[in-house]
Amino acid sequence: MTVCRSWLLLISPLSAQIVWQDLDAAFQRARFQDRILLIYIYTPWCAPCIMMDQTTWAHPVIATFAVKNFHCVRLNAEERDSIPFNGTLFPYLPEVHANQLAYLLLEGKMEYPALVLMEPSGNSLLTLRGYVNVRLMDEILRYFGGGFYRRMSWDAFQKTYPSQL
């Protein structure tokens, strides 16, 4: 008896997942590998964050490209345990209901979800607040992950790379 295995693809589609890294360890690796840190700042109660997890970050093209080209970190903005980063411990700040590191990365504008792209030197390249759909995330990741930000403007890049997602 011959078994047709193509139905397996319909039942269990291949899906890529982002393996989120510890921030401090990812920062150290980024410095040695000259890769950008992708820091996704979220809260567990945030509906747009949950939607972004289920759509944008779960998309196989986004997940695969992010893992191959960035050090991906998921940071709960309201983490109550101190977060180690680059030799400093960042505590929870009860007066702003956020961890100090998230507060500093977002420059006090605590809107979720948020995306921070950081060079291995620690310089921030991009801080983006709010839900990012798959198409825009594809363009952002390709622009920064492909190094295009070093040689062309965002507008010029968007004209040469229209996302197919």
pTM score: 0.87
- What's the domain count of the chain? 1
Residue 9 domain flag: no
68-107 residue pLDDT tens: 999 999 999 999 999 999 999 999 999 999 999 999 999 9
130-143 residue pLDDT tens: 999 999 999 999 99
Distance CA 58, CA 113 (A): 15
113-122 residue pLDDT tens: 999 999 998 8
Residue 128 domain flag: yes
6-53 residue pLDDT tens: 333 333 344 568 989 999 999 888 888 889 999 999 999 999 999 999
Closest CA to 164 of 61, 69, 70, 65: 61
Chain-centroid distance of CA 138 in Å reads: 11
Residue 165 domain flag: no
Residue range(s) defining the domain that contains residue 40 = 16-160
**Residue 67's domain is classified under what CATH number?**
3.40.30.10
